[in-house]
Amino acid sequence: MELTVLNEEQSPSTEGGCSASACGSSDDQLAHLSDEIKQKVHNHPCYSEDAHHYFARMHVAVAPACNIQCHYCNRKYDCANESRPGVVSELLTPDQAVKKTKAVAANIPQMTVLGIAGPGDPLANLDRTFETFRRLSAEAPDIKLCVSTNGLALPDAVEELAKHNIDHVTITINTVDPEIGAKIYPWIYWNNRRIRGKKAAKILIERQQKGLEMLVERGILVKVNSVMIPGVNDEHLKEVSRIVKQKGAFLHNVMPLIAEAEHGTFYGVMGQRGPSNEELMDLQDACSGDMNMMRHCRQCRADAVGLLGEDRGDEFTIDKIEAMDIDYDAAMKKRAIIHQGIEEELAEKEKRRAALAAVKVPSGPAVDNKHFRPVLMAVATSGGGMINQHFGHATEFLIYEASRDGVRFISHRKVDQYCIGDDSCGEKESALAGSIRALSGCEVVLCSKIGFEPWGLLEEAGIAPNGEHAMEPIEEAVMDVYEEMIKTGKLDEAKSEDSQMTA
Amino acid sequence: MSLSIIESCVNCWACLDVCPSEAIYEAKPHFMIDAKKCTECEGDHADPQCATICPIEGAILDAAGDEVNPAGSLTGIPPEMMERAMAEIQAR
């Protein structure tokens, strides 16, 4: 497949550059939502790119049973080093889940959202899922509740979901075409039978679409997740995006397929590849004309705890939470103060962003009538919207695009390869090589500090390391560097060959 | 006559929820079927429900001791492909 690459030959109005609604000074994919929806999602780390630097989430693994099989999932897996959906280390009872949630909320006051995401399908575990929600809405009313589902059981659960005041639901919709569905779902459990092939996919698709419509009717926010599977549903996801938007989903999250033989999944064993960073980005751009796209998803575990991209689950194992004595009323007061502080910081950031939008790229005799290409920059951050992480400590980078229209968030890229399990768990390649590969297509990497060795290797790869903006807000620093590149004539030159797509 | 669950069970609870006879119970190291209560779903369903929802190939045996869902029947992965992949991984 031909990759669309951001380069100097391309006008920013073509796809792959700066497409449609995601374009402009705002990198916030929620910018054009109604105020009512914004109010609902502004402190939800999974729905707001801004919020995810500040607010944390957790999943409780109370839902082990599943009613379908997906070709990217293996129900046997449980590895503490794995980070991907469907994987958990410790299954919880609803009672343990409530205790854990309160313990995390008290210890990580930035935690605003509790989700039930598996490891099976939450709505195939109705009693365990709803008992957890029922108790939490009574005992910890300051926590938002959300749930994700494959959609098969959704229409029957909508009434109950509405009762528990759950205002966010995520449905994984990989296709609206049974032909394609049959290549993704080998079977479903439906009306007491195991149903296979196109017939199964057709039922699943109908139930997903019906569930989506029912949720929207009741004013429950719906996000749609799709797994991008090259050669199976990649092109088709543009249509999925259009349809789910038309039906009222407020956000679409296209995620890359994770498939390794070590995972023992159908796709992994059969050698189905996942998309490259660039293919994913191009598809997200192509969908963004029709839909608000989410680009900061970390595809976290069904028992993840903490900010997106981090997992503090180890601090809250069943043994440890049993030993904790949590005064939740006191915790709630502290949480309210901290949330207020973050809200103020976010409001401040919004103001700065508005100011940034007014910043014009410098013009003068030398730059008149010249088109400057957009530039991708990678940022090492440990949260707070700041450039505050050492290059060598980064397990992921946030990728931003600077252009004459401003700065927008593109995606995150993981450095570490997924755990390959068993005694073969080891370093496949040096972390440094992994970092550099993760940065393909970027021209600059911003971090708080960087060592001598990586500095040289990055330069060799055509990526300019930059530690001059340590502790500065990300977007402003990215814009500063972009302006500097224009001033120093960097953007007059053709983009170096090395920094083009290599991975 | 009764079905039975063997050690490859991953304790996902799916079977317990769908058993019409409440014959399945949580146990260590894996869920078990009470042979006295199990009816093989006769009179309730066309197929035994535990084996109909179970996602793990080989984890449930029928009354004759045969796997209800043999290797490859649920994941679609041909057993020889799985063996080859596992051998490659172990050789690393």
State mean pLDDT over A417-444: 62
Which of A75, A125, A192 lies nearest to residue B55, judging by beta carbons? A75
The answer to whether B59 touches A54, Cβ cutoff 8 Å, is: no
Q: How confident is residue A292, by pLDDT bands cut at 50, 70 and 90?
A: confident
pLDDT, position A139? 92
A65: nearest Cα among B53, B59, B38 = B53
Contact at CB, B55 and A124, closer than 8 angstroms:
no
Contact at CB, B81 and A424, closer than 8 angstroms:
no
* CATH H-level superfamily of A24-322: Aldolase class I (3.20.20.70)
Which of B45, B55, B77 lies nearest to residue A270, judging by beta carbons? B77
The answer to whether A93 touches A100, Cβ cutoff 8 Å, is: no
Closest Cα in chain A to B59 = A76
Q: Which residues of B touch A121 (CB under 8 A)?
A: none
Contact at CB, B52 and A194, closer than 8 angstroms:
yes
pLDDT, position A370? 63
- The domain ranges of chain B are 1-92
pLDDT tens readout for residues A186-211: 999 999 999 999 999 999 999 999 99
d(CA B90, CA A40): 49
A284: nearest Cα among A8, A12, A17, A477 = A17
Q: What is the CATH number of domain B1-92?
A: 3.30.70.20
pLDDT tens readout for residues A151-171: 999 999 999 998 886 878 999
Contact at CB, A424 and B55, closer than 8 angstroms:
no
Residues of A with CB under 8 A from a CB of B: 64-67, 69, 71, 74-76, 91, 119-120, 124-125, 127-128, 186-187, 189, 192-194, 261-262, 264-266, 268-270, 420-422, 424
Which of A94-108, A448-462, B15-29 shows the lowest per-residue confidence on average (mean pLDDT)?
A448-462
3-state secondary structure of A68: strand
Q: How far is A211 from chain B (nearest CA, A)?
A: 22
- The domain ranges of chain A are 24-322, 360-499
DSSP A360-385: PPP--TTTTT-PPPPEEEEE--SSTT
Q: How far is B36 from chain A (nearest CA, A)?
A: 22
pLDDT tens readout for residues A78-100: 555 555 565 666 789 999 999 99
Instruction: Give the CATH architecture of domain A360-499.
Output: 2-Layer Sandwich (3.30)
Q: Which residues of B touch A66 (CB under 8 A)?
A: 12, 14, 55
pLDDT, position A30? 57
Q: How confident is residue A366, by pLDDT bands cut at 50, 70 and 90?
A: very low
